[in-house]
Amino acid sequence: MKKFDFLETEYHLEKKYLGFTGKGSFTYSGKIKSFSSVVKVNPDWKDCFITIQAQKDSEEIALIDLLKRNEVLKETNITIDDNSSFTISYKIPFFASSNKKRFDEIIETTISILKKNFYNPNIILTEEKEEFSNFENFNYKEKFKNLDEIKIEYNNREENIFLGILGVIGVSLLSMIAHIICDIVDGEYTFVLYVLLASVSCYTYKQLAGKISKKSPIFIFIILIISLFITTVLSFIFSFYYFYRESGVLLSEAFQEVPPIIISDPEVRELFINNILICAGALTISFIITFYRIFKEEMEYLKFKKIRK
């Protein structure tokens, strides 16, 4: 995530692991002001987790109480992992600059509390094993998988195409209802729905199918185009019924009369085609951008593997 590039450039932490809860998540590790630290980031969670190692022989006041007393840390969640580490989590601000400011505040406050109360960095590690980045002595072996394990697990995972398609159809049905309502109220900006539809459908398929393949975009795009065509026809039918219902036109009559009008009337046909093209254009652009982002997240581990080599 670009919002956390400063962890590498300013804090000199190393971006090491991908996929501690799924694709698109990152782990940064190293030492912050001599304290061994791990920063875990997942865009889907919208949360940042900062784990720090610190020790003290005897505590007059519990560390969690010292931390929670501070105003800066009051809106964070703090958990004590074991006798030598604790984790602070916070919601990631929308803007990158705000995120850096929030991270800096939390780190400065936390490290200051640790030093004022004579907490020391964890010095159990021997000199030969002090390289914190491999997580050998930080109790993360069960929490993190290395890149080879992630790759094997991902390749062995089956794509649940049926469940993914059902999810896309469900999202499309909701979009149909929204399109019809918007078309009756104000049909000028219905194309915005298809920008959202493409994005939500891609992420829904990814979550329900479990993974994506070369066939995935074909399935999704075909369903979305069919959905767009059916929805546009239905929106014409319901708009016709809405405007002529006071004249005694029944909904069943609108279903019978509107499709032939779309085919035979040049003006209506042109309007129908224009609506299809505008919405299809918005849907296609959004679909390409969204699917590219998802594909990039899925393949990110290859980039990390090349860097390690």
pLDDT at 18 > cutoff 70: no
Give CATH for domain 2-144.
Answer: 3.30.1460
| pLDDT tens column, 184-201 | 776 677 888 888 999 999
Report, as an integer, the average pLDDT of 11-33.
Answer: 72
Q: What is the pLDDT of residue 212?
A: 80
Q: What is the pLDDT of residue 154?
A: 58
- State how far the Cα of 228 lies from the Cα of 218, in Å rounded to an integer: 15
Q: What is the pLDDT of residue 288?
A: 92
- Kindly report the pTM of this predicted structure: 0.53
| pLDDT tens column, 254-307 | 898 899 999 999 999 998 999 899 999 999 999 999 888 887 776 654 444 444
Report, as an integer, the average pLDDT of 234-243.
Answer: 87
Tokens representing 214 are 């070369």
Q: What is the pLDDT of residue 1?
A: 56
Q: What is the pLDDT of residue 92?
A: 83
Helices (H), the chain: 6-9, 63-68, 96-116, 147-156, 161-185, 191-209, 216-244, 251-264, 266-298, 300-308
pLDDT at 57 > cutoff 90: no
Under 8 Å between Cβ of 154 and 209: no
- State how far the Cα of 99 lies from the Cα of 293, in Å rounded to an integer: 22
Query: Which of 272, 246, 248 has its CA nearest to residue 258?
Result: 272
The H-or-E segment that residue 81 falls in is: strand 77-82
Q: What is the pLDDT of residue 302?
A: 45
Instruction: Provide the residue ranges of all domains of the chain, joining segments of one domain with +.
Output: 2-144, 155-308
Tokens representing 139 are 């109790």
Distances 66 to 37, 147, 272 between C-alpha atoms, Å = 19, 37, 66
| pLDDT tens column, 100-152 | 889 999 999 999 998 888 888 764 433 333 334 444 344 444 344 455 555 55
- Count CA within 13 A, CB hemisphere, residue 45: 18
| pLDDT tens column, 200-227 | 998 899 888 877 888 888 999 999 999 9
Report, as an integer, the average pLDDT of 72-97.
Answer: 82
Q: What is the pLDDT of residue 45?
A: 60
